[in-house]
């Protein structure tokens, strides 16, 4: 009998202790559900957005883009440009340290720039202008150019994938095609590797020695002041459950809830919506130029007439509050937005599309359209595309697969009937496609281009002109020409702009409006 009592007592004590420790854990922790689970930790090796978001947590950048889209110094304290615009000198500001306590040096920065530029297409373009990248002293380095270019600031302040994050030299010296294994950064959070459980949760804690700039925070720029002690990224794959958990107070923030579930949040007084990415995203259709019949520009043009943006936006987003028909390659609300080149197109003019197909001699080859089934925001796109293409006279063979399979398959140049592909649909964050250099799909360097492999010398020349131009007014004119050309040769098709508000508990305040979700400046009161 005594034994039993002891057991019960022990059990009760354990339960009580359990309660206590739970209370102690409820310090300033922000529990967030991001749009994807974090499996890769190298933001240079991959362009995946979740890894970029991870990068913004633990790394810092030389320059940063603010809310208005202007590039401002971040790690850089003093920035000088020579009169002939060929020598740029950067001096780091005081007090920057790595998570292990070592000071950040110019050597680290130069190595980081080199690694970034090896993988990133904007970086590659920038480096083609660079004559020499040299360390001047502990805190200073200089970049000497062969010709003036606006890409220095555009590149070093690039807001989205790949972001030129600064890493210690020993890490940045890793071969760009191998993932890094040391996650030391100089950003406002520290990655807790020992608590990282892939598929379950990722943990960051505040970096006490981070020295924010004195200016107020704006976008990615300004002072990155962290007001929470700990941020946990939880992997909740079931969207319904994520919202349930938010409403029940078990988590604080959901980055990308499906639009259909937003009414649940709107109806609850403890929860609010917040659109942190005011520029939104763009759906895109990418044809494969190397796969007949998409090697024929007329047939590609038929796509521009077959599609209309509203159908796609309605099918995925559904609520007009969260989308915008924007017939432009460069998103609405950005500097280079224009409608030139797309007039009369994207209106589902099936007659015109059919006429074009006939002119081009379309022989009825089925278009192999890849359909991804497990990325919530993309799932409904391919069926809409198939329906519209069929009405325009195309024969479509839509093949369903999970995203990983699609990624593997789109890298192949085999004929579509033998494991290749004709087309697929995806989504870009607007900040990634604000100009012809950032827009990966506009790269028309044939074999060196992204999957889809457009091949157009005129487009490449225009992009090069854009890179060389430093005057903003002239840049806009070139961008217009780029769009006109893109609509002629059809590198890809813009299918509409859409917005993804986050949902969070009422006590989560201060989230910055930026193209990526950032967790500094957020308070939990």
Partner 1 sequence: MSIEALPAEFAETPLQRRRSLAAAARNPSVIIGALIVLVLALLGALAPLLDTLPPSDINPVFRNKKPGAERVVRDSNGSERKYVHRFGTDSLGRDVYSRVLYGARVSLIIGVTVAVISVAIGLVIGLIAGYIRWLDGIIMRVMDGLMAIPTILLAMGVVSLSRAGLSAVVIAIVIPDIPRVVRLVRSIVLSIREEPYVEAAITVGTPTPLLLLRHVLPNTVAPLIVQGTFICASAILIEAALSFLGVGIPPETPTWGNIMAEGRSLFRVYPHNIFYPGLCLALAVLAINMLGDGLRDTLDPRFAKRV
Partner 2 sequence: MLTYVLRRLLATIPVMLIVAVLVFLMLRLTPSDPAAIIAGDNANTEQVAEIRRRLGLDQPILTQFVIWLGKTLQGDFGESFFFKKQVTELISDRLEPTLSLSLLTIVIAIAIAIPLGVLAAYRHGGWLDRTVMGFSVLGFSVPVFVIAYVLIYIFAIELNWLPVQGYQRLAQGVGGWLQRLLLPSITLAVIFVALIARITRTSVLEVMNEDYIRTARAKGQTEPKVLIRHALANAAVPIVTVIGFGVGLLIGGVVVTESVYTIPGLGRLTVDAVLARDYPTIQAVILLFSLAYVLINLVVDLTYTFLDPRIRY
Binding site for partner 1 (CB under 8 A): 238-240, 243-244, 258, 260-261, 263-264, 311-312, 314-315, 318, 371, 373-374, 376, 380, 383-384, 387, 398-402
The binder of 383, among partner 1, partner 2, none, by C-beta within 5 to 8 A per type, is partner 1
Non-local (6+) Cβ contacts of 42 within 8 A are: 51, 179, 180
Query: DSSP class of residue 322?
Result: G
Question: Is 36 a binder of partner 2 (CB under 8 A)?
Answer: no
Among 407, 455, 477, 524, binds partner 2 (CB under 8 A): 407
C-alpha–C-alpha distance, residues 91 and 143, integer Å: 12
C-alpha–C-alpha distance, residues 16 and 11, integer Å: 9
The binder of 398, among partner 1, partner 2, none, by C-beta within 5 to 8 A per type, is partner 1
- Which of residues 132 and 181 has its CB atom nearest to partner 2 in the complex? 181
The two tokens of residue 309 are 């943006």
Question: Is 136 a binder of partner 2 (CB under 8 A)?
Answer: no
The binder of 315, among partner 2, partner 1, none, by C-beta within 5 to 8 A per type, is partner 1
Alpha helices in 307-417 (DSSP H): 309-316, 350-360, 381-391, 403-410
Q: By C-alpha distance, which of 372, 373, 396 is closest to 307?
A: 396
Among 27, 132, 179, 507, binds partner 2 (CB under 8 A): 179
Question: Is 513 a binder of partner 2 (CB under 8 A)?
Answer: no
Phi, psi of 403 (to 5 degrees): -60, -40
C-alpha–C-alpha distance, residues 146 and 128, integer Å: 9
The binder of 46, among partner 1, partner 2, none, by C-beta within 5 to 8 A per type, is partner 2
Among 41, 62, 306, 392, binds partner 2 (CB under 8 A): 41
Question: Is 247 a binder of partner 2 (CB under 8 A)?
Answer: yes
Question: Is 241 a binder of partner 2 (CB under 8 A)?
Answer: yes
Question: Is 15 a binder of partner 2 (CB under 8 A)?
Answer: yes
Among 35, 93, 114, 119, binds partner 2 (CB under 8 A): 119
- Which of residues 436 and 501 has its CB atom nearest to partner 1 in the complex? 501
- Which of residues 15 and 457 has its CB atom nearest to partner 2 in the complex? 15
Whether 286 and 453 have beta carbons less than 8 Å apart is answered as no
Phi, psi of 220 (to 5 degrees): -90, -5
Query: Cis ω on the peptide bond leading into residue 130 (within 30° of 0)?
Result: no
Helix (H, G, I), strand (E, B) or coil at 31: strand
Query: DSSP class of residue 199?
Result: T
- Which of residues 260 and 458 has its CB atom nearest to partner 1 in the complex? 260
Among 6, 7, 9, 19, binds partner 2 (CB under 8 A): 19
C-alpha–C-alpha distance, residues 275 and 252, integer Å: 16
Distance set, CA 496 to CA 262, 357, 427, 499 (Å):
20, 24, 10, 10
Kindly state the smallest distance separating residue 465's Cβ from partner 1, in Å.
39
Phi, psi of 100 (to 5 degrees): -90, 5
Among 2, 3, 5, 18, binds partner 2 (CB under 8 A): 18
The binder of 270, among partner 1, partner 2, none, by C-beta within 5 to 8 A per type, is none
Q: What angle do CA 267, 29, 249 make, to 5 degrees?
A: 25
Sites of contact with partner 2 (CB under 8 A): 11, 14-19, 21-22, 25, 37, 39, 41, 45-47, 119, 177, 179, 181, 197-201, 234-238, 240-241, 244-245, 247-248, 250, 374, 402, 404-405, 407-408, 411, 419, 450-451
């Amino acid at each position: 009998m005594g034994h039993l009592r002891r057991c019960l007592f022990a059990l009760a004590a354990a339960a009580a202790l359990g309660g206590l420790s739970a209370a102690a854990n409820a310090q300033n922790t922000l529990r967030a559900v991001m749009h994807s689970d974090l499996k890769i930790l190298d933001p240079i090796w991959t362009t995946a957005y979740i890894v970029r978001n991870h990068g913004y947590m633990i790394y810092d950048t030389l320059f940063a883009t603010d809310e208005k889209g202007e590039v401002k110094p971040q790690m850089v304290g003093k920035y000088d440009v020579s009169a002939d615009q060929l020598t740029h000198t950067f001096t780091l500001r005081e007090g920057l340290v790595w998570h292990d306590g070592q000071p950040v040096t110019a050597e680290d920065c130069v190595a980081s720039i080199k690694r970034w530029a090896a993988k990133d297409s904007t970086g590659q373009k920038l480096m083609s202008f660079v004559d020499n990248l040299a360390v001047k002293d502990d805190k200073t380095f200089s970049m000497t150019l062969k010709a003036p270019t606006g890409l220095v600031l555009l590149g070093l302040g690039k807001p989205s994938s790949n972001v030129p994050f600064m890493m210690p030299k020993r890490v940045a010296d890793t071969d760009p095609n191998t993932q890094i294994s040391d996650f030391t950064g100089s950003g406002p959070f520290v990655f807790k590797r020992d608590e990282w459980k892939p598929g379950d949760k990722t943990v960051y804690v505040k970096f006490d020695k981070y020295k924010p700039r004195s200016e107020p925070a704006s976008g990615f720029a300004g002072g990155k002041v962290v007001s929470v002690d700990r941020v946990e990224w939880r992997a909740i794959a079931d969207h319904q459950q994520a919202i349930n958990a938010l409403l029940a107070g078990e988590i604080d923030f959901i980055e990308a809830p499906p639009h259909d579930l937003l009414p649940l949040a709107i109806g609850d007084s403890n929860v609010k919506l917040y659109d942190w990415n005011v520029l939104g995203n763009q759906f895109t259709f990418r044809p494969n130029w190397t796969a007949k019949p998409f090697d024929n520009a007329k047939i590609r043009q038929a796509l521009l007439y077959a599609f209309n943006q509203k159908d796609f936006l309605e099918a995925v987003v559904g609520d007009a509050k969260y989308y915008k028909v924007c017939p432009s390659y460069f998103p609405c609300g950005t500097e280079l937005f224009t409608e030139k080149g797309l007039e009369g197109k994207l209106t589902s003019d099936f007659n015109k599309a059919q006429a074009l197909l006939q002119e081009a001699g379309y022989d009825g080859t089925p278009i192999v359209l890849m359909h991804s089934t497990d990325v919530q925001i993309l799932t409904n796109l391919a069926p809409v595309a198939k329906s519209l293409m069929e009405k325009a006279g195309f024969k479509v063979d839509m093949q369903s697969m999970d995203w990983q399979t699609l990624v593997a398959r789109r890298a192949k140049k085999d004929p579509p009937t033998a494991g290749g592909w004709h087309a697929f649909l995806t989504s870009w964050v607007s900040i990634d496609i604000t100009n012809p250099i950032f827009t990966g799909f506009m790269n028309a360097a044939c074999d060196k281009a992204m999957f889809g492999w457009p091949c157009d010398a005129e487009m490449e020349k225009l992009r090069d002109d854009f890179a060389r131009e430093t005057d903003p007014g002239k840049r806009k004119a070139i961008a217009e020409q780029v769009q006109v050309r893109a609509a002629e040769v059809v590198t890809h098709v813009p299918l509409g702009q859409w917005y993804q508000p986050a949902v969070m508990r009422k006590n989560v305040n201060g989230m910055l409006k930026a193209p990526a979700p950032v967790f500094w400046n957020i308070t939990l009161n």
